[in-house]
Amino acid sequence: MGLEAPHCLFQGLLADTAQRKLCESCRVKGLSICGGFAVDHAEELAGITQRVSCTAGSTLFTEGDQADYFYTVTNGVVQFSKYLLSGRRQILGFLLKGDFLGLAVQDQYSYTAEATTNCNLCQFNKKQFERLMSTYPTLEHTLFNAVSNELMEVENRMVALGHQLAEKRLAAFLTWYWDRMQYLSPTSETSVTLPMTRRDIADYLCLSIEAVSRAFTKLRTQNIIALGDPHNVRILNLEKLQDLAES
């Protein structure tokens, strides 16, 4: 029987054989820190792995919580953010399948992680993981690369915020998301499904919801995108979208 952690369901440490089979069949293993772990020692990594399920809108951990775990997103989208004294939320980035989160310089998390969608994650106990790194030094390099990806999401946001015009910020965001989707699952389709709400996008781009809505409208009227519904965007002119993001 799983344990109910605050806002998320921790399914508990699985039996070694069951967890090993899950790790072997994992579709994001090559995208995550697990992909850099020697096959011969995969069982040891599986032995310290827990599976975590979160529903959309739930909190994985909160800024200031004891940083006892690392995580890899295996399905869905997780956003990490900081809350200002005014209560306003600033989303720092969105993490997709294969992405890593939870590393803390100190003993406490420096940001809050929330599920943008229903999502599944692999959870690694920090102390147990550190013991593995001391045994297999190459794992530290893999962890460094994973953390670099986490920091890149903050960098992507800073690039988007470098634009004054809301439509350019939105173009930078849509270009980033399109690129990530193509990397994770290449397709000839020109449509993307945005799991984020308009509020999420606004909090990421430091804009109001109204400004984000107007930016979507401007991109639509310029025939750069078409909107099926708030979550479905069809890119009509990718080159023009990219140029707008980079200008």
The 3 state secondary structure assigned to the chain is CCEEECCEEECCCCCHHHHHHHHHHCCCHHHCHHHHCCHHHHHHHHCCEEEEEECCCCEEECCCCECCEEEEEEECCEEEEEECCCCCEEEEEEECCCCEECCCCCCECCCEEEECCCEEEEEEEHHHHHHHHHHCCHHHHHHHHHHHHHHHHHHHHHHHHCCCCHHHHHHHHHHHHHHHHHHHCCCCCCEEECCCCHHHHHHHHCCCHHHHHHHHHHHHHCCCEEEEECCEEEECCHHHHHHHHHC
> Would you state the pLDDT for residue 230?
82
Mean pLDDT of 66-75: 91
Banded pLDDT at 63 (limits 50, 70, 90): very high
Question: What are the extents of the domains in the chain?
Answer: 3-158, 162-246
Q: How many CB atoms lie within 10 A of CB 95?
A: 23
- Min mean pLDDT across 6-20, 64-78, 213-227 is at 6-20
Identity of the amino acid at 228: G
Mean pLDDT of 200-217: 96
- 160-201: pLDDT as tens digits: 777 789 999 999 999 999 998 998 888 888 889 999 999 999
> Would you state the pLDDT for residue 98?
85
Contact (Cβ atoms closer than 8 angstroms) between residue 73 and residue 116: no
CA neighbor of 204 nearest in space, from 173, 241, 229, 244: 173
Q: Is the pLDDT of residue 220 over 60?
A: yes
Identity of the amino acid at 4: E
- The residues that bridge with 93 in the sheet, in sequence order, are 80
- 81-136: pLDDT as tens digits: 998 888 889 998 899 988 888 877 778 999 999 999 999 999 988 888 888 878 87
Using alpha carbons, list the distances in angstroms from residue 208 to 90, 114, 199, 203, 232.
Answer: 12, 20, 8, 8, 20
**Phi, psi torsion values for 111, nearest 5 degrees:** -150, 170
Q: How far apart are CA 94 and CA 113, in angstroms?
A: 10
Is the domain spanning 3-158 CATH 3.40.50.10420? The answer is: no
Same fold, 3-158 and 162-246: no
Q: How far apart are CA 128 and CA 43, in angstroms?
A: 14
> Would you state the pLDDT for residue 6?
43
> Would you state the pLDDT for residue 58?
95
Map tokens 């011969």 to a residue: 40
CATH number of the domain located at residue range(s) 162-246 in this protein? 1.10.10.10
